[in-house]
């Protein structure tokens, strides 16, 4: 999902001009040059629940599924009703993850777009998606195929934006650490920033606590494999001028003193379960 592969919802955009859902989370759509005539309809307004159910069942039964069908699924998942249909088909999500990790890079990219759109559902659905797909999204963040890496970053941002508990699940899986590491890749920087903004917003209470703890020199937050450091995230976000006022206000909620960003860290214990 390149720059033009994010949904055209007609609603308010993200800081870089891409349209979002009303929740402020990104929606993936298909490329115009991928539109083809065929037995299955590409127009997302005409994709029926029966088509979504059929494709979902194919994923469940491990039947062979084409890139075109995955593309239709991705478009269909722009409709919240179709998200519910998909998540209620037992094994469909597992099948989608199978396609996300297959050897066909085109299908991998489209599958990541499907996960991105699925992640616009409610927090309960996002919790299921995060637990099942989170590790695979993390692993693909540094994939040499930029489209796949970008898709996965958008998806992580959507998931993190759904609920603080979902966000913490992703943190325990290593998503925040990985996002900070891959930020230096300019090809995926915007998508990574989008994800980091949602992480910082959801973790604002923890950041406030960490800021207080950081004032005590006796506390050492830089040791242990289970520590997730927020310093890099905050430094990255504060160092960039965001055109959207509400994003700047989000950051201001989390800290009133920028110098604290050099020392603040926080930890999350592994094994968080909902």
Given this model, what pLDDT does residue 261 score? 27
Q: Give the pLDDT of residue 232.
A: 47
Tens digit of pLDDT for each residue in 189-219?
888 888 888 888 888 777 666 555 555 544 4
Structure confidence at residue 274 (pLDDT): 18
Which pLDDT does position 193 carry in this prediction?
Answer: 83
- What's the pLDDT score for residue 177? 84
For position 25, what pLDDT does the model report? 60
Per-residue DSSP letters for the chain?
--GGGB---SS-B-TTS-BB-TTS-B-B---GGG---SSS---TTT--HHHHHHHHHHHHTT----HHHHHHHHHHTTSHHHHHHHHTSTTHHHHHHHHHTSS-HHHHHHHHHHHHHHTTS-HHHHHHHHHHHHHHHHHTTT-SSHHHHHHHHHHHHHHHHH-HHHHHHHHHTTHHHHHHHHTT-GGGHHHHHHHHHHHHHHTHHHHHHHHHHHT-TT---S-STTEE--HHHHHHHHTS--S-HHHHHHHHHH-S-GGGGGT--EE--S----
Q: Which residues of the chain have pLDDT under 50?
A: 1-23, 32-41, 217-229, 231-232, 236, 241-274
């Amino acid at each position: 999902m390149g720059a033009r592969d994010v949904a055209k919802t007609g609603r308010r955009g993200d800081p870089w001009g891409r349209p979002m859902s009303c929740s402020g989370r990104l929606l993936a759509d298909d490329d115009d040059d991928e539109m083809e005539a065929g037995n299955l309809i590409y127009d997302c307004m005409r994709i029926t629940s029966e088509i979504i159910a059929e494709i979902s069942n194919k994923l469940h039964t491990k039947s062979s599924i084409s890139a075109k069908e995955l593309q239709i699924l991705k478009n269909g998942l722009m409709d919240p009703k179709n998200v519910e249909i998909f998540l209620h088909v037992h094994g469909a999500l597992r099948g989608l993850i199978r396609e996300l990790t297959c050897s066909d890079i085109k299908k991998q990219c489209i599958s990541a777009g499907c996960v991105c759109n699925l992640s616009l559902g409610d927090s309960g659905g996002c919790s299921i998606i995060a637990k099942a797909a989170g590790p695979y999204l993390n692993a693909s963040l540094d994939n040499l195929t930029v489209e796949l890496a970008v898709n996965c970053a958008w998806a992580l941002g959507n998931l993190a934006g759904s609920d603080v508990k979902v966000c913490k699940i992703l943190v325990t899986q290593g998503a925040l650490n990985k996002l900070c590491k891959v930020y230096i890749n300019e090809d995926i920087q915007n998508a990574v920033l989008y994800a980091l903004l949602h992480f910082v917003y959801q973790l604002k209470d923890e950041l406030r606590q960490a800021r207080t703890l950081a004032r005590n020199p006796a506390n050492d937050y830089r040791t242990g494999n289970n520590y997730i450091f927020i310093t890099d995230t905050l430094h990255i976000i504060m160092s960039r001028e965001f055109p959207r006022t509400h994003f700047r206000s989000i950051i201001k909620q989390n800290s009133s003193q920028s110098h604290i960003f050099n020392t603040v860290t926080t930890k999350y214990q592994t094994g968080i379960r909902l």
